[in-house]
Amino acid sequence: MGDLQRFIDRLTEANAVMNLIGPDTLPDIWSRHIRDSAQLLDLAPGARMWADLGAGAGFPGVVLAIMLKTEQKSHVWLIDSLGKRCRFLQEVVDGLSLRATVINGRAEENAVTVEVVTARAVAPMEKLLGYAQPYLQRGARGLFLKGEKAEVEVAEARKVWQFKSDLSVSRSDPRGRIVSVRGISRVKNW
């Protein structure tokens, strides 16, 4: 059995008591969660150092760590503020011998230097960019998995933040978008 399947098995077991993902999404876990997370690697093919903010159930961070497992210099930081989710993530990291570190704390207070910072279902872009600001200011590229209102979220975020961005259509759901962000600063007078 592969590491992705072992992760799904552990997640399914833990989800029965912790509600890590919506139970109605379990039948579609491969397309809705795994494929959605894995597509980020194609957008940053040479990146080996990643941080996943609001890592929650491990999407996309654990999936990325599994897929980068054979890359000697790879590492994924899984950052979440909720202790019980961090305990789950640590069990997965240990059980699968992943090149990953679980950090129990607020994303903006635990910025590590990485090539890519990710987040999925964490917060609207305006707020998410505040969490990601320390990473982006250190040169990381942001790859944020968003839903069908991504364009609206980006427009709202531009009222508070200056940044360069591109939107890509998600391969796992044509309504979804991946927002790629580089550089960030606060809009003056804000």
**44-101 confidence digits (pLDDT tens):** 999 999 999 999 999 999 999 999 999 999 999 999 999 999 999 999 999 999 999 9
pLDDT at 21: 86
C-alpha to C-alpha distance for 68 and 136, rounded to whole angstroms:
22
Residue 190 has pLDDT above 80, yes or no: no
Q: pTM to 2 decimals? A: 0.94
pLDDT at 68: 97
Average pLDDT over residues 154-158: 96
C-alpha to C-alpha distance for 118 and 186, rounded to whole angstroms:
20
